[in-house]
Structure 1
Amino acid sequence: MGKGFHISKTVGIVGIVLGAGALATIIALSVVYSQEKSKNENEVQPPDATTSAPTATPSNEPWDQWRLPQTLSPQTYNVTLWPRLKPDPTGLYIFTGMSSVAFRCEEKTNLILIHSNKLNMTKQPTLTALGSKPAPTIESIVMHTKTQYMAIHLKDELAAGESYELYTEFIGELADDLGGFYRSEYNESGVKKVVATTQMQPTDARKAFPCFDEPAMKAVFYITLYHDPATIALSNGVFTSDEQVSDGTLVTRTTFAPTEVMSTYLLAFIVSDFGFIEQNTDKLQIRIFARQEAINAGQGEYALNVTGPILKFFEKYYNVPYPLPKSDQIALPDFNAGAMENWGLITYRETALLYDEEISSNGNKESIVTIIAHELAHQWFGNLVTLRWWNDLWLNEGFASYVEYLGADDAEPDWNVKDLIVLNDVHRVFAIDALASSHPLSFKEEEIQRPEQINEVFDTISYSKGASVLRMLSDFLTETVFTQGLQTYLDYFKFSNTVYTDLWHHLQLAVNGTGTSLPKSVQEIMDRWVLQMGFPVVTINTTTGQITQEHFLLDPESKPDRTSEFKYVKKYFERKKKGYFFYGLLDTLNVDEWVLANINVTGYYRVNYDNDNWQRLLNALQNSRQSIPVINRAQLIDDAFNLAKAGIIETTLALRTTLFLNSETEYMPWEAALDNLDYFYLMFDRTEVYGPMQVSLLLSNIYSLYSCLCICRYNQINALRVACSTGNEDCKTLITGWFEQLMANPNVNLIKANLRSTVYCSAIAAGGEEEWNFAWEMFENATIASEKDKLRAAMACATEPWLLNRYLKYTLDPEKIRKQDATSTIISIASNVVGQPLAWDFVRANWEYGGGSFSFSNLINGVTKRFSTQFELQQLIQFRDDNTHIGFGSGTLAIEQSIERTNANIKWVEKNQEAVLEWFKKPS
């Protein structure tokens, strides 16, 4: 049982209602002041209760440090919150609350340091003893806005080994900032509705109530929510009771069973009038919540149907029963992340959970099942066992990003989902990890301290490189050994915290148990992938048999801040045999004519060959491509293009790897080729190369493949997209005809769901204001999130600059473009050659205004990816220098990566433009 306060119905209501009468103005002013002045060191505090810490030079005092001292450890929280889903007389949405935290004193101290951010205390906090010794008297309370602490100074010391309870009452704004305890709004049947919901990860639980907001500070949480009787309340724990209470206002008080021991970032509480569907399997309650309209339309059925099987798969995979009695999943109209693994109450964007059989595409369906698998994987790996600090985030997210494919494959075994990790993660992260400004998977704890540093770690390296190296590890250990080590790791550390080397230890125990001998320990093998940035390119000389490797850099002349050594290669290649390669297997497929390494791309490295072997591989692709595994056909294209970008092989050699595609019917090689050719469009669509590239033999036949590529659900989409984008008249006629039919009869959409993204984009690009306005009207009226997303992206395809400028302005108005979608909308506009300079100007003009509405990292990378001139480089550097005083937050690393990428692009274009022009005029 948790230690906490207990209140009667009437006292509870009176105590929590703070927004009435004369107090309304004070509360409103406090909240507004807190919000508007959040950049400053001072914050409004309760009268006579606290003081504000003045801005001062940094000190060694605990409240000036970004990490909590280890003097106190929380045991239980008792949290009561009341979100108001209607604005107060001043127009503000607020929530009021009270919280008690029982904690143990580990070392004697006269200071209680607890996180609190943008909360105004409405009553003097109180401290009581839970043991035999009395609690010290509170001397003063100081709010430290910069480090987000409430510092409670005591007249005497807390005694080591004793437990105490801190009680607080507070008020905060239920803002629309997508972080902490926030509000989401939507319209249903012409009525505006409000949802109170949460996003705590990584450092925003402190915006909901005072707490020890670090992942290692686990505790049990008792949650109570007050809400309008017409709404429902959800939290991590199982619902235990509803009670109608009144003191002038009728409200429902909902209480929840205590949670398991867990971290603050996994907390969730939601008040809404959503509907739900449910299943009960083996005493496990599975529910899908969403807007009532979406539930009535059956959009939650697919998620409900796959959740049970995925949970059963992970129970078997982990050999640990699902730790909770329920699994709730909810689709939110406003949600900045894709999804969040809150324990027992997973939150999603609508597009990540809701599926409509008639309107959603196959891509939407695949995305939903993999995202669900990702979040369910976290219920064990991340929630049951949690990394101690954010410097090891990569293991948490990388692991879920790897096994999501396994869970999705079990749910949809006919889709070959597991292979897509190569396109979606391995190839994707290679592009980032080839930069000198990349970073290792794991940092030292002292490198990741401030909230913006923590946010910056949530990047492609953590997710996709983490997934890639764990897949490699599983492959060379074997899946059996890998899962054995994983299972003992989860069992040993359940309900506690770890560092990543704890997993290596248990994997080593599994290796030892099989009697298998590795050249080095698991930790020694994996440290090279975890503690140093980048990856190697392995060069195999089939004439001499020699193998060499070196750090692969997109710009070989760049100088990484962190050194990376790639050693321990097998020095000589033995044909038709496997050899250890940096203590992983260098798998090779050898025939008399050619040699191919890294079968199925299980290794995290690129491969280069001598020219003779490249020629033999090209001949094999042309004449006997089936002798090369499909994943490696994609690999050969991707490796060749990127080796050419780094100046290691000729660009024309890379282009020749695509010539076999006229007879290729598999999706992965086509997608690899189109992804890499997109780079050519980015670099050359403003140059004389563009014309010949459009009409080249490479792409001129793709539309003829449209009708014969139904063997793969994605190739038909690619065929239509590329044919229309390269100016194929038959394609343009088909697309515009479909869209004209839709404009003539908007209530009957005959365009296939899989093709809508391509059709909408191509028709809007070929049209003008009438087509754009029609799409905007469809967007505003759409009730299915995946359809809205398709239309939102398609409107960025317009070719009229004034339409795109108007659209950019819409991203600053959340009534038109939701805050969660602002960044991706701007990036979509920047992907349009007409829109790119407009988007760049817009970002620069509104950088300071943008604030928390944008994902800085994605935004910077998205609007600069086409940069390839000295003028653009100087603009980018000037932008960085001009905004140093504002800062780039989670985009700090992204700005340096963009500068480095632009430098590499400039060099590549200067070196290759003439050769590429000649090749597209006459491929050879």
Structure 2
Amino acid sequence: MSTITSETPASKFRLPTNVKPTHYDLTVRTDLDKLTFDGSVTVSLDVKEETKTIVMNSSKLKLGQATVHSTGSQSDQLSSEPSFDEKEKRVSFSFPTVLPAGTQAKITIGFSGELTGSMTGYYRSSFEEEGKTKYYSLTQFEASFLSATDARTAFPCWDEPALKAKYTITMVSKSDTVNISNMPITSDKVFSPSDHADLKTLFVDLNEEWKISKFETTPLMSSYLVAFANGPFEYLESFAKMPLSGRTIPLRIYATKDLIHQAQFALDVKAKVLPLYEQVFEVEYPLPKLDTLVANDFDAGAMENWGLITGRTSALLLDPKKADLAAKKRVVVVQSHEVAHMWFGNITTMEWWDYLYLNEGFATLMGEVIIEVNYQILLLTLRVLICFHSLISRAFPEFKPNSEFITVHLNRALALDSKLSSHPIEVACPNAESIGQIFDGLSYSKAASVLRMLSAYVGEDKFLKGVSLYLKAHLYANSVTNDLWAGISKSTGTDIINFMDNWVKKIGFPVVTVTETSGGIKVRQDRFLETGLAEGKDNETIWNIPLSILTFDASGKTIIDKTAVLDSRESTFALDTSKPYKLNAGTNGVYRVLYEDAHLSKIAAEVAKPDSVFTIEDRMGLVNDALALSKAALMKLSNALTLIDALRNEQEYLVWDGISANLSSLAAIWWEDENIRSLLNAFRISLFSPFVQKLGYEYPASDSPDISQLRTCAIGQCLAAKDQSVINELKGRFAQYMKTGDDSVIPADLQGAIYRAAVTYGGQDEYNGVKAIYDKAPTPTSRISAMTAMCQSKDPARIEETYEIALKRARDQDVVYFLSGFASNDITKRQVTHFFQDHYEELYKRFESTFMMRYLVETTYGGLSTQKDLDEMNAFFKDKDTSKYHMGLAQSLDSIRARIAYIEHSSSDVRHWLEAWKQGN
């Protein structure tokens, strides 16, 4: 375990270590009428070094003078006026006499602040009731772009993850509201002067309109996990019987009255996965309850506050009768991910934000992969991933989480990490701006992918045992990367530190080039970039690559050599190249594989067979590698299209989902070349139209998830490729809905496609119909579908109206959906950049404290593809302060450069292949 000691010098961005908090007694009063809060905090301290000054974090708060009492002094001391460091979000209190080293002290500070709509700190969220806007309050303390964490904007504290303490929280609120926090309520009473004399001193205007809610004391925890909320909440309740402790844990989900009826599914998911995690990790869930709060306004998807998960409506709500499968998956994923954090991140917490992936990678993997337990496959990944996939596979066997992981996480991670502007998984975070920007696909998806690769290499059982050892060694403490590797090294007897070091500490990933020799294959590793092989200093890293070579024995039985590791620039391996073979069997490795053209042709012939030896994961990986390699000019795009063409008889949805995503990407790159675009659309229709004809437009309950998703995918691709028969069907369904008001003609899984078709190919009436759905959407999913569809109009007046809605009426969390919709409309793809630039100052001020600014930049510019676009983008941002989103900006610029290069080196090739394909069909 890494600890902060008095010998550690206080860096510019870290608090002094002369005192250490051990317990907070926090009282917060919330006034939802005035949209303000105030209170007092008393912090118990261990004085590590003699000092007359106490420095802690505070931002946006009005503070009074502090009072300190020390066991080394006979009387209380009153501080001088607080001294603020606005840049570092700190406050200093100086006292007349020293606090002796080795003593205990208590510092008490009064504070007050405003409930803004910032979606950070202690903030307000709004909802409509009987035509009136009403408010409730909640916290979001994890890192933002203005500070490392935002607990400091709610109460003065030591706001660093390693400075864990216990919290006893008291909430004061209007008597007709509900208070919730990390722990259960011990007392919930209307104010009485006789019962609450101490609070009357603190809040002189208290009367019987107020109530006092006291909560149990928390275990040791980091400040960013503290949570509390106040409002007119209602709840649904369930229970979970825990396998280790035998305890029955109450589970609740809170929401406002208008939303609570859509919360049952999320509650059911939580009840399923919580006991599974306790069993898998072999560590008891330590709290007496686990709540979830649904928020109308929320910057992230969700947040793992210990004992009180919070999240946005689209991540936690659905109407089972009207929800599509994608919405159900999202709720399962989010709840599973956040519950995984109760162990990875909450019990055991990263020492500093450099190690964020120990939280997010684990939660992603655990939530989305699974490990073998009693013959139930539960492939694990770190923090988020381990908990997510493992639990989903057990609790929701109808999903294929290990296969879907390749598209959702692995391919996403490799796409981002193939840019020069990428960053390592473990990345130095000295200041607030850098912390806020690493909540990205590398800390989540690449971290989870690397952990999944390690799990496959050492074996899921040993991996999971090592994870359990890691957790047990750091209960209620903090950790760094090598602490995790130590646990897995112990369970496997392997030097995991040496094996994994470059995977987490170095930028990028390799491409393995395979060349056939007389007795086998020669393999070489180089860093892969979306524009080609890295050179010079950018190509110095040597990774330990588990090659996982798939071959056959003399009897034709499949063999996978999991011991083969490429730990040098080049090496040779003996095998029979006359038979099919493939590296990265199961697509567990975090790398691409480049074969010679002749062998790729053999692979294409093999994948076309109904009884192909290549698994669904292998076929997904082959498609993704081929398209990525063609973009990097390491393979002809025509060869990649030949591979896709060979998969026409493929029946697995997830393979088609990968094909769909890659073909959509190609269409978006050649969006201004009408000849290539029309040929590519014809090719897409030829692939997906047979599924539309076979599966139709209805979604019977007897369908498997694969069939339902394949239907949705095929119809979506045909709509995007302008298949007139599909357009007519979707338009007709919306027309029938407009005429009768019967939404049964709009299946939940097709509402996005139907809304898009209606607006794209319809007129003012269709636009107004979709806008009406946006205004009064029955579910979060339908509202998002309506938002993005409204952006597909070709009419200038309707486009301008949608811009106005996005700027003036949309919730903060929803603006990105509008910009995403505009960026996917050929008519507004460039126009939206001018909208962004014209309103930049307004948008920056609105979103500077959230993650949203980065998303807006990436969404607005990421799809452009000419040198003129690149030059104009550089010119616009030249004089801007981009410190809060510079990573996203750099990645967007890299994306444009890669698109420019792709168009230059592959336009002729793809045109000739498509023309030949068309002539042959």
User: What is the TM-score normalised by the length of structure 1?
Assistant: 0.87
State the distance in 2 between where 1:588 and 1:871 align.
Answer: 50
Q: Is the 8 A contact 1:586 1:598 kept in 2?
A: no
2:423 corresponding residue in structure 1: 439
CA distance change for structure 1 residues 109 and 559 in 2, over 3 Å: closer, same or farther? farther
1:741 corresponding residue in structure 2: 736
Cα displacement (A) at 1:144: 1.1
CA distance change for structure 1 residues 375 and 644 in 2, over 3 Å: closer, same or farther? same
State the distance in 1 between where 2:422 and 2:308 align.
Answer: 34
Q: In structure 2, which of residues 69, 79, 84 is the aligned counterpart of residue 128 of structure 1?
A: 69
Question: Is 1:66 the equivalent of 2:66?
Answer: no
Of 904-913 and 385-394, deviating more is: 904-913
Q: In structure 1, which of residues 859, 864, 884 is the aligned counterpart of residue 861 of structure 2?
A: 864
Of 818-827 and 743-752, deviating more is: 743-752
Q: In structure 2, which of residues 30, 39, 63 is the aligned counterpart of residue 83 of structure 1?
A: 30
Which amino acid is 1:922 matched to?
A: A
1:235 corresponding residue in structure 2: 181
Alignment map for 1:451-466 (pairs within 5 Å): 451-466=432-447
Q: In structure 2, which of residues 897, 904, 911 is the aligned counterpart of residue 910 of structure 1?
A: 904
Of 839-848 and 389-398, deviating more is: 839-848
Question: Is 1:692 the equivalent of 2:655?
Answer: no
Question: Is 1:802 the equivalent of 2:802?
Answer: no
Q: In structure 2, which of residues 542, 557, 563 is the aligned counterpart of residue 566 of structure 1?
A: 542
1:155 corresponding residue in structure 2: 96
Cα displacement (A) at 1:543: 4.0
1:546 corresponding residue in structure 2: 522
Question: Is 1:279 the equivalent of 2:238?
Answer: yes
Alignment map for 1:36-55 (pairs within 5 Å): none
Q: Secondary structure at the match of 1:634?
A: helix
Superimposed CA distance per residue, residues 85-126 of structure 1 (whole angstroms, 9 cap, x where no aligned partner): 113xxxxx21111111111111122221111100012x3221
Q: In structure 2, which of residues 857, 861, 874 is the aligned counterpart of residue 877 of structure 1?
A: 874
State the distance in 2 between where 1:570 and 1:603 align.
Answer: 7
Which amino acid is 1:74 matched to?
A: P
Q: Secondary structure at the match of 2:412?
A: helix
Superimposed CA distance per residue, residues 818-868 of structure 1 (whole angstroms, 9 cap, x where no aligned partner): 101112321221122112112111111222221364412222221222222
State the distance in 1 between where 2:572 and 2:257 align.
Answer: 53
Cα displacement (A) at 1:417: 2.3
Superimposed CA distance per residue, residues 286-338 of structure 1 (whole angstroms, 9 cap, x where no aligned partner): 1111122322x3x2221222212201110111001111110101111111110
1:343 corresponding residue in structure 2: 306
1:305 corresponding residue in structure 2: 268
Q: Is the 8 A contact 1:232 1:272 kept in 2?
A: yes
Q: Is the 8 A contact 1:651 1:916 kept in 2?
A: yes
State the distance in 2 between where 1:138 and 1:99 align.
Answer: 15
Q: Is the 8 A contact 1:126 1:168 kept in 2?
A: yes
Cα displacement (A) at 1:574: 10
Q: Is the 8 A contact 2:49 2:100 kept in 1?
A: yes
Alignment map for 1:243-262 (pairs within 5 Å): 243-245=189-191, 247-248=206-207, 250-262=209-221
Q: In structure 2, which of residues 619, 624, 633 is the aligned counterpart of residue 638 of structure 1?
A: 624
Q: In structure 1, which of residues 513, 518, 536 is the aligned counterpart of residue 510 of structure 2?
A: 536
Q: Secondary structure at the match of 1:565?
A: coil
Question: Is 1:507 the equivalent of 2:488?
Answer: yes
Q: Is the 8 A contact 2:67 2:77 kept in 1?
A: no
State the distance in 2 between where 1:630 and 1:836 align.
Answer: 35
Which amino acid is 1:65 matched to?
A: K
Q: Secondary structure at the match of 2:107?
A: strand
Cα displacement (A) at 1:433: 0.4
Q: Is the 8 A contact 1:484 1:507 kept in 2?
A: yes
Cα displacement (A) at 1:621: 2.2
State the distance in 2 between where 1:778 and 1:696 align.
Answer: 32
Question: Is 1:599 the equivalent of 2:582?
Answer: no
Q: Is the 8 A contact 2:57 2:90 kept in 1?
A: yes
State the distance in 2 between where 1:560 and 1:174 align.
Answer: 52
CA distance change for structure 1 residues 752 and 783 in 2, over 3 Å: closer, same or farther? closer
CA distance change for structure 1 residues 326 and 591 in 2, over 3 Å: closer, same or farther? farther
| RMSD over aligned Cα atoms | 2.5
Alignment map for 1:325-724 (pairs within 5 Å): 325-405=288-368, 406-443=390-427, 447-512=428-493, 518=494, 521-544=495-518, 545-556=521-532, 564-567=540-543, 576=552, 578=561, 579-582=563-566, 592-624=578-610, 626-709=612-695, 712-724=707-719
Q: Secondary structure at the match of 2:910?
A: helix
1:165 corresponding residue in structure 2: 106
Q: Is the 8 A contact 2:185 2:213 kept in 1?
A: yes
The gaps in structure 2 that reach 5 residues or longer are 1-7, 144-148, 193-205, 242-247, 369-389, 553-558, 696-702
Q: Is the 8 A contact 1:105 1:160 kept in 2?
A: yes
Which amino acid is 1:717 matched to?
A: T
Question: Is 1:751 the equivalent of 2:767?
Answer: no
CA distance change for structure 1 residues 197 and 698 in 2, over 3 Å: closer, same or farther? closer
The gaps in structure 1 that reach 5 residues or longer are 1-60, 88-92, 513-517
1:5 corresponding residue in structure 2: none
Superimposed CA distance per residue, residues 606-644 of structure 1 (whole angstroms, 9 cap, x where no aligned partner): 111112111101111223463211111111111011111
State the distance in 1 between where 2:541 and 2:729 align.
Answer: 54
Superimposed CA distance per residue, residues 370-411 of structure 1 (whole angstroms, 9 cap, x where no aligned partner): 111100000011000101100110121011011111111211
Count of aligned positions: 841
2:780 corresponding residue in structure 1: 785
Which amino acid is 2:315 matched to?
A: A
Superimposed CA distance per residue, residues 731-781 of structure 1 (whole angstroms, 9 cap, x where no aligned partner): 111011000011113354421111111111122111132211211111111
State the distance in 1 between where 2:500 and 2:178 align.
Answer: 47
How many percent of aligned residue pairs carry the same amino acid? 29
User: What is the TM-score normalised by the length of structure 2?
Assistant: 0.88
Cα displacement (A) at 1:573: 8.3
State the distance in 1 between where 2:233 and 2:365 align.
Answer: 32
Which amino acid is 2:909 matched to?
A: A
Q: Secondary structure at the match of 1:689?
A: helix
1:106 corresponding residue in structure 2: 48
Q: Is the 8 A contact 1:437 1:896 kept in 2?
A: yes
2:375 corresponding residue in structure 1: none
Question: Is 1:842 the equivalent of 2:842?
Answer: no
Of 494-503 and 790-799, deviating more is: 790-799
State the distance in 1 between where 2:392 and 2:796 align.
Answer: 42
Which amino acid is 1:214 matched to?
A: E
